[in-house]
Amino acid sequence: MTLPSFVSRHQFLIYRLFSLSGLIPVGAFLVVHLLTNASVLGGAASFQSRVDMIHSLGPLLIPVEFAFIFLPMLFHAAVGFAIIAGGLPNVGSYPYMGNVRYTLQRATGMIAFAFILWHIIQLHWLGAPLGGGRFDPHHATSSAATVIAPLGVSLLYAIGVLSAVFHLSNGLWTIGITWGLWTSPAAMQRANVISIVLGVVLAAAGLGAIGGLRSTDVAAARQVETRMDDFKRMMEGQAPGADAGGHGAAGSSVTYPAADAIDLRGPSEPSALVIPTPTTSSSPPGN
């Protein structure tokens, strides 16, 4: 069976899966991702602890990312481009939707695609062979703030984030048409309000994160992150990292008396956690 004949035989199913994938898992991921990023507004420690939670998946993170984010997004984008190119009849055509929203849905899908590709190359480790991969999960705020610091980069991020947010919020409304969830004008109107509220909340979260990163004191954030990293290593019985202020160079062993303390506060974070300082000694951890 050739690919075109496979597609035409399973057109209905493909369109339904395309529609569903826009909501779950891709749309759900976008919501979680934007809200996580917005936690940077609570300070470097707040964002770092969320990133640590995600990275606590360890080696499982890679298959999870591929199964629930990259592959569904590639599938959605591939079918989306096929629809735009006219390769798939638009079985989800919306007689009630304005022409502008219809066109914007397609335009924002394409902008989001270009943005997401660039964003992944720039920050995700997958982009490292192309000179990107600049996000450091142990220094979440400071590394992201450094990447986004140039005004042009921030503006492109704002355009990309707003495109993705419009695409999801408007898509939420069109999904209800595709699946026959809202059929009366009154139901459509209610769905419209929900879509707009979602759009406004997500846009605020996305732009808030960009603003939060832009106003970050990178050196102070890095100190907070380094102390948190030391604390994690201490809890795992390892030596602190190389940039932990000189102590804990590779090969040294550490003990953890409660006497001394690391203050996780950056200059702008008065209420953050205070933890014990590991000190270098000749006896192994736990002795």
Interface pick for ligand HEM out of 14, 38, 50, 76 (rule CB under 6 A): 76
- Which x/- pattern over 158-197 shows residues binding ligand HEM (rule: CB under 6 A)? ------x--xx--xx-xx--x-------------------
Which 199-258 residues touch ligand HEM, going by CB under 6 A? none
Sequence-separated (6 or more) residues with CB below 8 Å from residue 143: 134, 135, 136
CB of 1 to ligand HEM, least distance (A): 25
With CA atoms as reference, report the closest residue to 208 among 82, 39, 24. Answer: 39
Stretch that binds ligand HEM, among 45-53, 75-83, 136-144, 191-199 (CB under 6 A): 75-83
DSSP labels, 67-91: IIIIHHHHHHHHHHHHHHTTSS--T
* Binding residues for ligand HEM, total number by CB under 6 A: 28
Q: E strands within the chain?
A: 253-255, 261-263, 274-276, 279-281
Tokens of 129: 């062979």
* Rounded Cα gap, residues 208 and 51, in angstroms: 17
Nearest residue (CB) to ligand HEM, 76 versus 265: 76
Interface pick for ligand HEM out of 19, 146, 216, 277 (rule CB under 6 A): 19
Rg (CA), the chain: 23
Which 25-44 residues touch ligand HEM, going by CB under 6 A? 26-27, 30
With CA atoms as reference, report the closest residue to 47 among 139, 155, 149, 153. Answer: 139
By CB under 6 A, residue 110 contacts ligand HEM: yes
CB of 201 to ligand HEM, least distance (A): 15
* Rounded Cα gap, residues 231 and 264, in angstroms: 10
Residues at the site binding ligand HEM, with contacts judged by CB under 6 A: 19, 22-23, 26-27, 30, 76-77, 80-81, 83-84, 90, 92, 105-106, 109-110, 112-113, 164, 167-168, 171-172, 174-175, 178
